[in-house]
Structure 1
Amino acid sequence: MLKIMIVENDAMIADYLEDVLNDAGYEVCGIAPDVESAIALGRACQPDLGIIDLRLSDGRFGTEVAAALCPGNAFGALYSTGNPDHPVLQGAMGVACLSKPYTPDALVAALTLVRARMMGEATPASLPNGFRLLH
């Protein structure tokens, strides 16, 4: 079972994501609302994947979380944002971005694509609505 962490500043969204991911067969190793707690959580639980909100409760960006956890790790960061064209995503560590709002099916499909990309598999021609690769 793949481990995933949720980095989301909205508690209701985070709880909903946890339910969706548990139902999809992921092991949610924790939820963090800000950069510092997310980095600590990531280092403690060593997740395979992370769904990371772009703007966090401390006013900082989720890109800081991925930058701290990606180097040297097999960590697949999927950003979640209402602003997929935000300049902070240019050159950000991570695999892809999923635009809010999204459906549970789109989220699960996006995470499957992130994992496949990390394993060097080809990206299919059909992508979930609002999904784009970062690099």
Structure 2
Amino acid sequence: MKILIVEDEIFPALHLESVVEALGCTVVGIAPDKATALRLAEESAADLAIVDLNLRDGLTGPELAREIAERYGTKVLFLTANPAQASLDFEGAVGIVDKPFDDTAVARALERIRKVAGGR
């Protein structure tokens, strides 16, 4: 599974990258803001974007997530300290993991997404 990480804080982003790669996924890039995320989404054909809500350019994560899902068919998993601000009301939104996250929560979410994608 190819994954785009959309997170503006570098240390959590790098930790998430190592967790995702340890689970056998490929990270296609880390984006700190909406413009970078849209560029990487277009270039990479990521299967999944893990999206924080508050990015370098403000509270752009919810709008960005919807746009990535609609434009590119990329599934979206929100990773946020403010889960009430995340909306799962669009096709492609697959869940929310609370921040600060633990590796197990990310692993469970990715396994669930893989099962759904595999038709199980």
> Fold conserved (TM > 0.5)?
yes
Structure 2 Cα separation of the partners of residues 6 and 61 of structure 1: 14
Higher alpha-carbon Rg:
1
Instruction: Give the corresponding residue for 2:49.
Output: 50
Q: Which has the higher helix share?
A: 2
TM-score normalised by length of structure 1: 0.78
Deviation, structure 1 residue 72? 5.7
Deviation, structure 1 residue 54? 1.1
Structure 2 Cα separation of the partners of residues 80 and 12 of structure 1: 14
Deviation, structure 1 residue 60? 2.9
Instruction: Give the corresponding residue for 2:14.
Output: 15
Deviation, structure 1 residue 62? 1.1
* Partner amino acid, structure 2, of 1:110: A
Structure 1 Cα separation of the partners of residues 71 and 55 of structure 2: 24
Percentage identity across paired residues of the two chains: 34
Gaps of 5+ in 2: none
Deviation string 1:56-104 (CA, Å, 9 cap, x unpaired) is: 1101321222222212644210001111112x52635511111112211
Instruction: Give the corresponding residue for 2:67.
Output: 68
Number of aligned residue pairs: 119
Gaps of 5+ in 1: 122-135
Structure 2 Cα separation of the partners of residues 90 and 109 of structure 1: 18
Structure 2 Cα separation of the partners of residues 79 and 60 of structure 1: 13
